[in-house]
Amino acid sequence: MKLIFVTGKGGVGKTTFASAYALDQASKGKKVLLVEFGPKSHLKYIFSLGKNKEINYKRIKAPKNLEVQMWNFEEVLVEFITYYLKVKTLVKKFFSSPIMQKLIKVAPSLRELVYLGKATSGYRNIGKDMDYDSIVVDSYSTGHFLALMRSPVGMMEAVKRGAMHVQCKTILEVLKNPKQVEYFVVSLAEKLPIVETKEFVDILKKEFSISPKIVLNKVKQELDGKVDQACAFQKSYSKNTVNQKKNINKIKNYNTELVMPFVFKHDSTQIVKEMNDHLGDL
């Protein structure tokens, strides 16, 4: 099993890449779960699921070996509590105690923790069966993603011992294990996004010792032949490709094997399909 998190700034192509990656894995015969965090579904626009079919906490069969699911806080939390009620009375008391009730309402990043708890539950042998070869999480954008990663750390500091502490510790161990979890940071190949991506990846490395793969997205292919200087579009397009090349060069010491072309289409399903062809042997 492999857990895959996709992050990156807003609008760079996280959902597109996560979908392409999930489809790619599924087409190779793997059993794949593609997850998005609620409350709004973006995946429903990519996977044609019919007008009346919403993606929600019920797993939906998409093409081939792929299932798509949207997680939301309340449902995942209830699932966890129910799981514990069955096995440990001690934890039952813990969850139903007034302190825990308060915590649920006020604890910062409890939502994040609950999502991470579920995402890593297969490795930790707890909770509902997560029998997949790959779980692909179309995750939060960079700032919020750091809050997600930091949530078990914060909770361990707040709750120094007991079930909660142990859970957070094991979650963190899974997150830091490259054999179990892989990270993709999607980035545009423009100047500022490249600087920001490097900063973001440096933080992930420093705080969690993880080395994500960078997906350079919307990279424009160079024009063949000579640029017609009288054509404004050709001129600006070609200038853009030159700049993108320069910017990509600045990030070459990071894991940047994955370069996704700019797809000149407006249909997101089509864009995902085309991106799929460029994934190679992931």
Ligand X SMILES: Nc1ncnc2c1ncn2[C@@H]1O[C@H](COP(=O)(O)OP(=O)(O)O)[C@@H](O)[C@H]1O
Binding-site ranges for ligand X (CB under 6 A)? 8, 10-16, 42, 217-218, 260, 262-263, 268, 271, 275
State the binding partner of 217 from ligand X, Mg ion, none, CB within 5 to 8 A by kind: ligand X
Nearer to ligand X, 136 or 168 (CB): 136
Nearer to ligand X, 140 or 208 (CB): 140
DSSP-assigned letter for residue 263: P
Binding to Mg ion by residue 15, rule CB under 5 A? yes
- Burial code (b: 16+ CB inside 10 Å, e: under 16) for 133-149 equals ebbbbbbbbbeebbebb
State the binding partner of 237 from Mg ion, ligand X, none, CB within 5 to 8 A by kind: none
* Count, residues near Mg ion per rule CB under 5 A: 3
Smallest CA-to-CA distance from 88 within 159, 166, 154, 160 is with 166
Nearer to Mg ion, 14 or 111 (CB): 14
128 φ/ψ angles, rounded to the nearest 5 degrees:
-65, 155
Smallest CA-to-CA distance from 142 within 190, 180, 182, 198 is with 198
| Contact track, Mg ion, 39-68, x by CB under 5 A | ---x--------------------------
Tell me how crowded residue 172 is: count the other CB atoms within 10 A of its CB.
20
Min CB(240)–ligand X separation in Å: 14
Binding to Mg ion by residue 139, rule CB under 5 A? no
Min CB(10)–ligand X separation in Å: 5
Smallest CA-to-CA distance from 61 within 116, 28, 15, 22 is with 22
Nearer to ligand X, 170 or 217 (CB): 217
State the binding partner of 13 from ligand X, Mg ion, none, CB within 5 to 8 A by kind: ligand X
The H or E element spanning position 69 is strand 66-71
Nearer to ligand X, 32 or 275 (CB): 275
The encoded tokens of residue 236 equal 């600006």
Q: Select the span of 15-23, 227-235, 256-264, 265-273 touching Mg ion (CB under 5 A).
A: 15-23
The H or E element spanning position 17 is helix 14-27
Nearer to Mg ion, 42 or 220 (CB): 42
- Residues 143 and 211: their CA atoms lie apart, in Å, by 17
The site for Mg ion (CB under 5 A) is made up of 14-15, 42
